[in-house]
Structure 1
């Protein structure tokens, strides 16, 4: 039997890149990674990032730009000397009726939420492969990859692409010891959400078996698990973090 570390969730010594770290979910992921000992490269395009929770650096880059992914990977390697995990969390979530989408709206969604993820994954996985130590890649997708809404059709399509991209990445980079998975959150609470969208929050609360909305830390915990040795033989999987809403999808 292979000997295992005493604490399988201990990420001490690991360098984790988290994109979209200036948003609510991204900040929650950064906090959880830092709490478990990881050194964090916190990417943001424009928002400020809270780096108070542990050893972390902020990197600003537009991941849809040609040099965006290389900027993030280079910063990680220059500051910490390596990359052990990548959490692709950055994305946009505009609202538009699917029947009225124009080409520009469609292209912006796919470029930001899918193409940029592919390009950064390719760059980070290449760095991990060069190191020869394996690694973990996690895409933050959505339960809307399985159940679209009328005003999120382009978003749901991109998130479904992320789930399949993780499977394709698992197949492609598995021989290098690199695992790739996705996390599909349900409704994640943020300040003002209940006031901004009372009818939607009401439908959610009436339907969710565990009786609450999610928190950024709920998503962060799932990402920590998939980046840890506890998930050492898990790749190509989609971990749903939704309080059980998909068992009762009436929201």
Structure 2
């Protein structure tokens, strides 16, 4: 993991960074020079491994644990990240989320709330807490929510997930409007299908159909999402706020008829 200076001097918190996309985002932030607070709820081993890799490359990182379906934990994790950063927090990536598959007919209110609390409550509470820090520091900060192309293109069995991600996109626009005067930019990144270990074995038909549909001919990689988040947190995006950056290899450009 080589270092550059695109995020030099930044202190970032990445939620849900014990594995998958969040871990990839944390590693990319560190590679660009940021000190990174790596949040996890249950993926301790993955979070510790990410922090170890960052340290081996000369970067700074720490593991923070918390259940982000609980408002107090959201605020505590943000506060601990800022305290670790010497009172500063310049970037927040709200990545923590769940994506169960369940038909609407069988879905209960508890099922619905389980997804919404994880995917939306955490975004609201962490953003509010981070903004309280960022508005008091010189230069403000950036906040990026990880949404999904399913916010606009729902898939069967994902009604609660799709609705939650649509809410995340609109929350970012609302937050960009209200926090912009304080120097805080808020955006979303909407990934398409991102590869993970075992995905081709677990869902061979879906992977095959995606590869046939996507113009660039491959699944996404965690670093593709990390690169988008780095851009939005960097000076290169200093006039970008309230935007949904779709990172899907062009699959959303395909006609639906």
TM-score, normalising length from structure 1? 0.94
1:19 equivalent to 2:25? Answer no
Farther-moved stretch of structure 1 (124-133 vs 218-227) = 124-133
Q: Within 5 Å, which residues of 2 pair with 1:1-251?
A: 10-47=6-43, 48=45, 49=47, 50-51=50-51, 52-53=53-54, 54-81=59-86, 82-248=88-254
Q: What CA RMSD, in Å, does the superposition of the two structures yield over aligned residues?
A: 1.3
Other structure's SS at 1:57 match: strand
Q: Which runs of 5+ in 1 are unaligned?
A: 1-7
Whole-Å separation in 2 of the counterparts to 1:21 and 1:155 = 19
User: Is the CA contact (8 Å cut-off) linking 2:71 and 2:125 kept in structure 1?
Assistant: no
User: Is the CA contact (8 Å cut-off) linking 2:211 and 2:218 kept in structure 1?
Assistant: yes
Other structure's SS at 1:195 match: helix
Map Cα deviations across residues 165-202 of structure 1 (whole Å, 9 max, x no partner). Answer: 10000001000000000000000000100000000001
Other structure's SS at 2:119 match: helix
Whole-Å separation in 2 of the counterparts to 1:106 and 1:207 = 30
Whole-Å separation in 2 of the counterparts to 1:144 and 1:33 = 25
User: Is the CA contact (8 Å cut-off) linking 1:187 and 1:214 kept in structure 2?
Assistant: yes
User: Is the CA contact (8 Å cut-off) linking 2:102 and 2:158 kept in structure 1?
Assistant: yes
Other structure's SS at 1:64 match: coil
Map Cα deviations across residues 135-181 of structure 1 (whole Å, 9 max, x no partner). Answer: 00000000000110110111000001111010000001000000000
User: Is the CA contact (8 Å cut-off) linking 1:10 and 1:37 kept in structure 2?
Assistant: yes
TM-score, normalising length from structure 2? 0.92
User: Is the CA contact (8 Å cut-off) linking 1:83 and 1:128 kept in structure 2?
Assistant: yes
Other structure's SS at 1:86 match: strand
Whole-Å separation in 2 of the counterparts to 1:118 and 1:204 = 32
Residue number in structure 2 paired with 1:4: none
Alignment size in residue pairs: 243
Query: Deviation of residue 249 (structure 1)?
Result: 6.1
Other structure's SS at 2:38 match: strand
Residue number in structure 2 paired with 1:3: none
Whole-Å separation in 2 of the counterparts to 1:26 and 1:104 = 26
User: Is the CA contact (8 Å cut-off) linking 1:94 and 1:152 kept in structure 2?
Assistant: yes
Map Cα deviations across residues 33-74 of structure 1 (whole Å, 9 max, x no partner). Answer: 000000001100010211112210000000111321122122
Map Cα deviations across residues 185-235 of structure 1 (whole Å, 9 max, x no partner). Answer: 000000100000000001001110000000000000000000000000000
User: Is the CA contact (8 Å cut-off) linking 2:5 and 2:33 kept in structure 1?
Assistant: no
